[in-house]
Structure 1
């Protein structure tokens, strides 16, 4: 004798099944990130076994291996993990706010503002450390303010913000070139490597600074995103449900600026991670934004790209990680634009 479940119970079963599938995907991504992290730390030009790596991390000194692990391999892997996760979450949050998969901090000029501010402080003013991060934050704030002011006054809503962002990004490219022309030959080499997006120069102090920002902002963003999902259904509906729309948007933009500015001030503009991670993460979950999975996707992309840039590029060139992510991201951007254009023409 068959029994028919009540509609409420059917809904609960569908939700439980969907949650289990989502959890399995999250676990797979987590395992992939851990595996990529272990490969990045242990393999390469100088191979260190996993037991030796654990002993080194625990404080034991192994001649040669300790220096390579603690001063080169491990800091690069940790910085790639943090930077990739931070940029991925910032990109996904920006895309949800503007309701467009092209609206990443790269495209809208937020990353460019942080880069130009940090580069000006580094090259022209000769600043170092936290002052460079502060200058990068100021540059990102200025660009975000321009997006809000100019985008609000233009027709087209969220799409107008993208047009304004592209214009800001073009202006920032010109400003960056001007700053580079002011640099001496020694600063120029450092600046060009930094502009490509690199995790090779990060110190443990830089890593600690970025880790503190990520530890504070990621939980904040996870809580904030619950209300943003309602805002995405429409400002009027969200306001009717008691969500303070303007306040939530402002706080979300502040989180994006902090994540992007801090990451760019330390690593430079790592291209396309913020753009790619969101659509990939949403594809894994049927179009839904799960920030934890998107952060894992961004971390995985950056760690793998850094390993490829360091060891797998022909000729033995130790390239900045941004070169590899840029090469991978450009075709994806063209595909994304083409597929959106075909959808809009139908």
Structure 2
């Protein structure tokens, strides 16, 4: 009887692992397909052969400039920013055990946005200065929210409410900066605030790409501890997890990635909010959700950008499309949580 139970459990685990591998592989393949579409499609549709020749360094009139200068940076910004948003959102939602506890809702991306808008509108800076300011502001925002939410005991609900309040305050700061800024800087700031891949340039991407390539593996390695942290502080400690060190490493890594992604593409709405729940529905809850969430985030950004470019007579920034998708889900989630008494 005991052997039958063990065999049944192991068979279920193998089935869940197989599902995780199949879904994750599908998401990775879908990302590759969307990347190819980003390179092939535009005002002019190029053949696969022409795109490959242009990427290999061959100079083809019209094709080389369009592919290497416009489409490739746009595609790289989309996939790396989407991956960073997806991972960071899933980390916060899982670690704080609440789907509302993501960087968009609790104000972390707004802190990075306020710093970036200040650099663009007031300091007339760009590139590295915006990236550094965004990371510092993101870390300062999450530190402030954590300090204010501690009280006598740490409360996730209090953290979310304080985060929403901080977000409202920082949105007011952004509005003020737009009012006092030079007129010629306002259009660029507004395009950036909507979340857009337009105008992405290769020299702006190294910081984002390097941070994702270094920090994402670290987060993936720590991903096995996320399920332990979900059990609560006492249970995680009793199982031998160093909760403080794990939480600090996860928060620092996530904030750095999402701040650099925000400084590159702007605050693309709801990607960090949607990626984790979608990935969890697809792969289940038995294995780490970090990689699937990152891939879902990348796919959301790439697909939304393609929809914004070609589905309408007017071209829309990617953030508007993700906002249209995410806002109804947020309303649905709030209604469901209210019905369950979780609000």
TM-score (structure 2 length as normaliser): 0.95
Match of 2:338 in 1: 341
SS at match of 1:128: coil
Structure 2: 5+ residue stretches without partners: none
Q: What number of residue pairs does the alignment pair up? A: 341
Structure 1 residue ranges (4+ consecutive) displaced by more than 6 angstroms after TM superposition: none
Say yes or no: does 1:301 pair with 2:316. no
- Pairing of 1:263-302 with structure 2 (within 5 A): 263-287=261-285, 289-302=288-301
SS at match of 1:220: helix
The structural deviation recorded for 1:11 is 2.1
The structural deviation recorded for 1:155 is 6.5
Distance in structure 1 (CA, Å) of the matches to 2:340 and 2:325:
24
Q: Do the aligned partners of 1:238 and 1:245 also contact (CA within 8 Å) in 2?
A: yes
Distance in structure 2 (CA, Å) of the matches to 1:304 and 1:228:
28
Distance in structure 2 (CA, Å) of the matches to 1:223 and 1:249:
13
The structural deviation recorded for 1:344 is 2.6
The structural deviation recorded for 1:156 is 7.2
Distance in structure 2 (CA, Å) of the matches to 1:256 and 1:5:
42
The structural deviation recorded for 1:241 is 2.1
Match of 2:316 in 1: 319
The structural deviation recorded for 1:146 is 1.4
Match of 1:82 in 2: 80
Match of 1:63 in 2: 61
The structural deviation recorded for 1:154 is 6.8
Distance in structure 1 (CA, Å) of the matches to 2:259 and 2:283:
29
Q: Do the aligned partners of 2:70 and 2:200 also contact (CA within 8 Å) in 1?
A: no
Match of 1:91 in 2: 89
The structural deviation recorded for 1:108 is 0.3
Match of 2:211 in 1: 213
Distance in structure 2 (CA, Å) of the matches to 1:338 and 1:243:
35
Q: Do the aligned partners of 2:275 and 2:297 also contact (CA within 8 Å) in 1?
A: yes
Q: Do the aligned partners of 2:20 and 2:284 also contact (CA within 8 Å) in 1?
A: no
Distance in structure 2 (CA, Å) of the matches to 1:135 and 1:89:
21
Q: Do the aligned partners of 1:98 and 1:159 also contact (CA within 8 Å) in 2?
A: no
Q: Do the aligned partners of 1:82 and 1:211 also contact (CA within 8 Å) in 2?
A: yes
The structural deviation recorded for 1:287 is 4.0
Alpha carbon RMSD of aligned pairs, Å?
1.7
Distance in structure 2 (CA, Å) of the matches to 1:78 and 1:134:
20
Structure 1: 5+ residue stretches without partners: none
- Pairing of 1:1-346 with structure 2 (within 5 A): 6-153=4-151, 157-287=155-285, 289-314=288-313, 317-344=314-341
Q: Map Cα deviations across residues 37-91 of structure 1 (whole Å, 9 max, x no partner).
A: 1112112321011111111111111100111111111211111011101001000
SS at match of 1:108: coil
